[in-house]
Structures are given as structure tokens and as C-alpha cells.
Chains A and B, each alone.
Chain A
Amino acid sequence: MGHSHFIFITQNFKNFVHGIDILTKADYFSLGNLTESYTKVASFVARFEEYRPFIIERLWKVKLRHWDIDIRQLTAKSLAMMTLIDPQYVTKNILQVLTNRCTHKDILIRHGAILGVAEIILSLANLSDGENLAGISSLIVNIVGIVHAVEKGRLYRGRGGENIRIAISRLIECISVAKLPLQVKLQVSE
């Protein structure tokens, strides 16, 4: 089989777009580690536009409310990397929904949403010096208000409350590092 023939064949792998590229990255060994497959391999595959929407959708719709807390944390990390790849898509489609879910009555959804929002805004801030944050100032008010809203809903208490407290701490950390504008009243209450 000559070289030109080989190129001809590989170009015709139309059914599975970028199949060979993905195969070389997502192999037996790299997938053996959960963290690696959620971060490195996933962000590699998400570089291909054909797969990106499905990957982001599966992450925030399904995996962010997984019953295993490790999976939720990894998903938040993974979403942060997706934000670096495609900030437009994430801010447009996800951030609003996740912010609303931060006071959801289901603890799994609530916890995942808080973690997700925290990691996403940190990525947005790191990306191009916060230019992306400027466009969503109204949403940012809501995000900053999450801390207060969760407290108001007495969601730090009861079963799983300690996980929520950890997640909110992470959110506060991310808000601070991202230098989101705070009102004086909020600054004092925190």
C-alpha cells in the first residue's frame, strides 16, 4: 500500500470524524486514569467541533449531578477547560442555567452547579483578562449573590451541608481571584 493510497484511505474516514486522532490520544492507558480522561483527553477531543457540543452538554447536564462527589468535582474542572476552548458557548448556554440551579432543592444538582459556576468564572477571568466577564455583568450580579442566596435558603445545614460549605468556599475563592465587582454590603456580610 503506497503512501498516497494511505492518505486517500485516512481522508475517507468520514463516518468517524477525526477517529485516528482521537484514538491515539484516548487509548487504553490514558483512559485508565479518571482525572486524566476528564481533563487532558476530554479537552483534546473537545478541540474538534463535531464533538464539542455533545461533550459540554453531557458534562453539565448529566455528569455535574452525578451521585459520586469525585465525578462532580472532576466535571467542574473539565468544564473549566471547556470554557478555555469555547468561552462563547459556555457563557451563552450554560452559565445562566447553572446559576439558577445553585439553590436547587436536589443537593446533588445544587452542589454540582455551585462547583461548576465557580470553575467557569475562574476560567473566564483567566481568559483574555476578563474581557468575557464584561459582557455578562447582569449575570455576575446573580453569581455574586449565590453566596447570600444559599445562606438565606438555609442550605448550609442538614445532610450534605458540609459539602455545600466547601463548594461555596471554593466559589468565594474563585470570585476573589477573578476580581468580580462586589457591593459594599456583600463585602461586609462575607
Chain B
Amino acid sequence: MATNLTEPITTSTTTSTSNPHFIELDETLNLISVSCNHNEDNEAIQTRHIQLRKIFNRYLEFPTLLDPHLDDILLRNTVNDDHDDDVDDDDDDDKIKKIHSPYQGLAIQCRDWMVELLFLNQKQKQEDFSTMTSFRLNECLTTIQSLCKVRGYKTIQRFLPHDPSDLEPVLHCLMRQNQGDGDSDGLLLLQWEGVQVLLLWLAMLLSNVPFDLDTILSCEDSVFSMVESVVRRYLQDAGPTRDAAAVCLASLLSRPDASSMVCNNYLHWALDVMRNKEFCGMGGIYLKMGVVQTLATLFKMAPRTKLLLESAREMESLWQTLIEILEDAKDMYMPPMILRKMLIKLFARVGCAYLPPRVASWRYERGKRSLFSCVESASEPNLKHACATSHNITSEEHSSNLIRDEIEDVVEMLLRGLRDDATVVRWSSAKGIGRITERLPEDCADDVVEAVVDLCNERESDCAWHGSCLALAELSRRGLLLPQRLSLVVPVVVKAMQVSLFITIKIPREVFHLAFFQYDVKKGQHSVGAHVRDAACYTSWAFARAYAPSILRNYVNELSREIVLTCLFDREVNCRRAASAAFQECVGRQGADVS
């Protein structure tokens, strides 16, 4: 984790590694271009698309190799565009020249079929033709989904057509899909892959189309509630369609033309879902996850005051429920773990929204952190590095009285998240603590640092130590761990690097944890603490990058000794390598100090 070193490329066996570019480009483009032929039968279409997906899946390990060609694969359109063709002939781009037949990218094909379906729907005839179109649409969308899987949906979203006129066909397809599940009239039965791509497409359109939705879509009821009801039903899915639906709903609610009524309605519904005891089963857990995911995405996308000011009352009642849910979601099995991660993300984002966005004036700033300026300082007798920047404490900043109760809740939840059993939750909490602390006044932030350090003691589990190390690294990288605190923190990190064993003793009603250092005892339920040592190496790596040599000098002996010993003698290979990376960072950035 501490190192960015990857395995040497030669050890991997995929095709792409031996040729570091997209070697199947011609084949891919040929496979895509055949589809303009309308007389192809279903089986041929399917084999063609399966072939395409196979090609894309080969690039799972090196997805960025696809980047230069995504435009060709998805958006390129030469059918009704002779002028465009001429331009390409002028370039010496042989790969494009090879395709003589008219060519349409996958997304363009999808759009045309969706328009066709919309048009057919209005005419209500030619059913055969419609089923064939929907079959092709499904195959094509599934192929786009495999691209999303390989390259990540955020990148693929940018290569989908985003004209305001595309909104209606996409929405229409989703609505027909909904009806189709009920009875056979809908005629459109997409697989989940197709639904996921449509939802992502809709999300992208909703966040990019600048005009009022009322002017684009016609609907007897409110447009917003219609779109919301279409998307909302996917929030309870177990698979990736839930993520896509959450993104989609968040884009809808964060639109500038979404009135506070729309948001309030959603929050009311969310509160109902969260409070409802009927949703406690497996399906209910998924719905709750979907709701929390939507809120977390919403707080990332929307302007920070939008929800807090316009729906203050709803947020407040939702808040308490969310805290209760987080306390309930303590089970080890999979979905609650993700639910906890989502809740932690949401808490951190809401906390950030409550606090004014500013960079803490009290933080430790070193100025330029390039390696060169660090080496240069060796020749300057007087180091110009400022310790903590000037303390210009304004009255507003100093008063911890202004901290709202919600912020205290947030910090408490995040600190608890640091001790969570699941690594993803600890990571999210560490990130959240970094973001929140940056916006707090100095005295409150110092309390946070102290609480994080307190997690490293002999009576805590390995999870708490791990989370604490991650949070300390995060704080130091943001300059929030002030130099005067290092005397407290460095010994803790050194101790974490020596951790050898964690024993958990469970007696009825109570659980005891015991941490052992250096000496190894083997009794009861235990963890060998390798992840803690690895995280401690990461923390010292972060320290070496964050502080000026003059500041870290007092702790260098202690740190370097432990790092070298871990590097040589740790049982786990990842810890030895992490320590070696930390040592490299220390020598490179700290060694140049003139004593």
C-alpha cells in the first residue's frame, strides 16, 4: 500500500503487455462497422458482440491503453458525414482509411436504435422490427457496459452522445423496460448491463443538459417526479445497476432547476425507507444502501449549501436515523460493510458541507515540495521552511463554540469508523477525518489528532491501530499534524511498526484486545498484525514527504532504525517492501539536511 511499485510488466501474461498498445484496433473497428448492415441475423450479431467484449476484457489490467481509441469505438460517425471522411483521408491515419464502409460508433448505433424505438412506439406497429431493434440495442449496450467495466464508467460517460434531444429516447427506453417487466406489451427486455448503461447515460445527460427539463420532456405530471420514479426502482438492486441509479438520482436532484420541493420529497421518502423496519431483510438492506449512496453522491455533486439551507429540517430528522443505522450495521457480512462505508462517506461529506470550505490557516506549510527544492536546501545554512504558518487567529476561527452538534457527531462516527472491522470503512474514515479536520479551528483539530493517536494502545484491536496509522498519514499529508505534535506521534508509529501479534479474548458480553510488540505469543484468536506494520511504514513514508528535514531531524534516528530493521527482518514481503520504500523516501527527502 505504501509503495506505488507494480510488478514488472514481463511477469504478466495478458496479450496487451507484450505490445503496449491496443493491438486489436482494426479488428474492433471492423467488428463495429459491420453492424450498419441491417440484414444481419440475430446470431451473427451476438457472436460479433461477444467477440468485441472478449477483446475489451483483455485490457482489464491496462485500461488506459484504450483511451486514444474510445472516440473511434463509441462516437465516430461517418454515415451522413462526407466532409468528415475527407478530413480523415488527408491525415495519414491508415487505421481509419482501412474502413471503407460507412462507420458508426457503438454509442451512435445505440442512440439511433433508441430513436427508432421511440418513433415506432408512437406509430404502434411493425412489432417484428421492434423486437429486432431491441435485441440489437441490448447487445450493443452490453458491449458498452463491458467497456465501462474495463475503463470505469466516469470515462465512458464522456463518450456517450449528450445532445438535449437524446434525453427523450434514453428515458423512453428505461420506461419501456419498466413496463416490460410487468407484462409483455413493453417489448423491451434489456439485461442488467443494458439498464446500467442507460442509467449512466441518463445521469450524464441530466447533469449536462442546461435547459429546463420541462422544456425538453413533455409529461402531464411533474417531469422530476416522473424521472425519479423511473430511476428509483433500481435503487434496490443487488448489482451495479444500484450504483448507476444512485448516480442518476443524484444528478437529477443536484440540477439547478430542481426545486427544493423535489429534494424535500426525496428526503422524506429516504427517511421513510431508513426508518421502516420492514426493510430489514436482504432486499431492504440493498434499498437502504441505494438511498445512502444517492445521498452521498448528491453531497458530492450539489452546491454545498443547497440541501442544508433548503431542506434543513428534513436533513436533521434524517441525521439521527442515519446514526442509528450505522450503529446497527455492525454485522460482518458483505452488504452492511458497504452500507457502513457509504454511511461514513455520507457523514464526512455532510460534515464538510456544514463547515465553510477553507484551507486551515493554522496548518503546517512547507511551500514547494519538489525533490529538487529539498535537495537545494542542503546548501543554504538557514532553512527557509516556515514551521506552522503565522497564527492569525480571527475571532471566528478560534471559537469552538460555533461547532455544530452535527460536526461532533460526524467526528465521533469517523473515529469509530477507524476501528471498523472492514478495511474499506477504515480507509473512508481516514480520508473523511482528513477532509473534516482541514476545515476545523486549530484547537478542535488538535483534539482530533489526539483522539486518533489514542487509538494506538495495547488494549485496542489490530483494526484500530491500522485505522489510526492511516488517519495519521492522511493528516500529515494535508499538513494538519503540526510539528509540535510529532513528539507524541513518532513513538506511536515506531511502536506500530514493531507490532507482532494481536490477541482477541472473547468472554460473554465483553471482548478484550491485547497487542504485543516484538515478542510473539501464540494463544487464542489472533492476528499477526502485518497490515498494521504495513500501514505504519506508509505513515513514516508520508512523514518523510510532509516535513522539512529540520523538523524531522530529532526523530530521524528512532525512525530510521526501525525502518531498516523492518526492511530486513519482517516476515511479510509487503512489509519489507513498504519499509524499503519508506527508507528510500527518508534518504531522498530527509537526508539532505545540514546538521
Q: Which residues of A contact B (CB under 8 A)?
A: 5, 8-9, 12-16, 19-20, 22-23, 26-28, 31-32, 34, 37-38, 41-42, 45, 51, 54-55, 58-59, 61-63, 65-68, 71, 75, 108
Contacts and interface: CB of A to CB of B under 8 A. Distances in A.
Interface in B542-572: 549, 552-553, 556, 560-561, 564-565, 567-569, 571
B139 interface: no
B568 A14 contact: no
Contact of A23 (B501, B552, B587): B587
What are the 5 closest A-B residue pairs judged by CB atoms, nearest first?
A: A19-B587, A13-B591, A67-B520, A15-B556, A31-B576
Contact of B378 (A12, A38, A75): A12
Contacts of A16: 556, 560, 583, 586-587, 590-591
Interface string B521-536: 1100000000000000
A104 B580 CA distance: 35
A171 to B, nearest CB: 23
Contacts of B556: 15-16
B550 to A, nearest CB: 10
B437 to A, nearest CB: 28
25 contacts: A5-B379, A9-B375, A9-B592, A12-B594, A13-B592, A15-B586, A15-B593, A15-B595, A16-B591, A20-B587, A22-B583, A26-B568, A26-B580, A26-B583, A31-B567, A31-B573, A31-B580, A32-B576, A32-B577, A37-B568, A41-B568, A51-B564, A61-B518, A62-B519, A67-B501
Contacts of B501: 67
Contacts of A32: 573, 576-577
B592 A58 contact: no
Contacts of B591: 12-16, 19
A31 B570 CA distance: 10
Nearest to A19: B587
Nearest to B568: A42
B576 A58 contact: no
B5 interface: yes
Given A37-B576, A42-B568, A66-B520, 8 more contacts: A15-B560, A16-B583, A16-B586, A19-B586, A31-B580, A38-B569, A45-B568, A51-B564
Contact of A55 (B5, B379, B565, B576): B565
Nearest to A54: B561
Contacts of B573: 31-32, 34
A45 B564 CA distance: 9
A108 B587 contact: no
B580 A27 contact: yes
B500 to A, nearest CB: 8
A23 B584 contact: yes
B273 to A, nearest CB: 49
Nearest to B581: A28
B593 A14 contact: yes
A65 B595 CA distance: 39
Given A23-B584, A28-B5, A28-B577, A12 B592 contact: yes
A61 B517 CA distance: 12
A177 B290 CA distance: 72
Contacts of B522: 67
Contact of A62 (B518, B561, B593): B518
B515 to A, nearest CB: 15
Contacts of B561: 51, 54
Contacts of A51: 561, 564
Nearest to B591: A13
Interface residues of B, number: 38
Contacts of B583: 16, 19, 22-23, 26
A158 B569 CA distance: 30
Nearest to B590: A15
Interface string B369-392: 000000100110000000000000
Contacts of B592: 9, 12-13
A28 B590 CA distance: 20
Nearest to A43: B568
A37 B564 CA distance: 11
A15 B553 contact: yes
A131 B191 CA distance: 82
B525 to A, nearest CB: 15
B568 A66 contact: no
A75 B586 CA distance: 27
A109 to B, nearest CB: 10
A8 B592 CA distance: 10
Contacts of A26: 564, 567-568, 580, 583
Contact of A28 (B519, B564, B580): B580
Nearest to A63: B569
A22 B567 CA distance: 11
Contacts of A62: 518-519
Contacts of B549: 15
Nearest to B587: A19
Given A15-B549, A23-B587, A28-B580, A38 B520 contact: no
A20 B379 CA distance: 19
A11 B388 CA distance: 29
A45 B563 CA distance: 13
Contacts of B595: 14-15
Given A8-B378, A65-B519, A59 B593 contact: no
B567 A71 contact: no
Contacts of A75: 569
Contacts of A37: 567-569, 576
A163 to B, nearest CB: 14
Interface centre among A16, A22, A66, A67 (most CB of B within 10 A): A16
Contacts of A13: 587, 591-592
A55 B564 CA distance: 9
B189 to A, nearest CB: 51
A44 to B, nearest CB: 10
Given A22-B583, A27-B580, A31-B573, A38 B568 contact: yes
Contacts of B552: 15
Contacts of A15: 549, 552-553, 556, 560, 586, 590-591, 593, 595
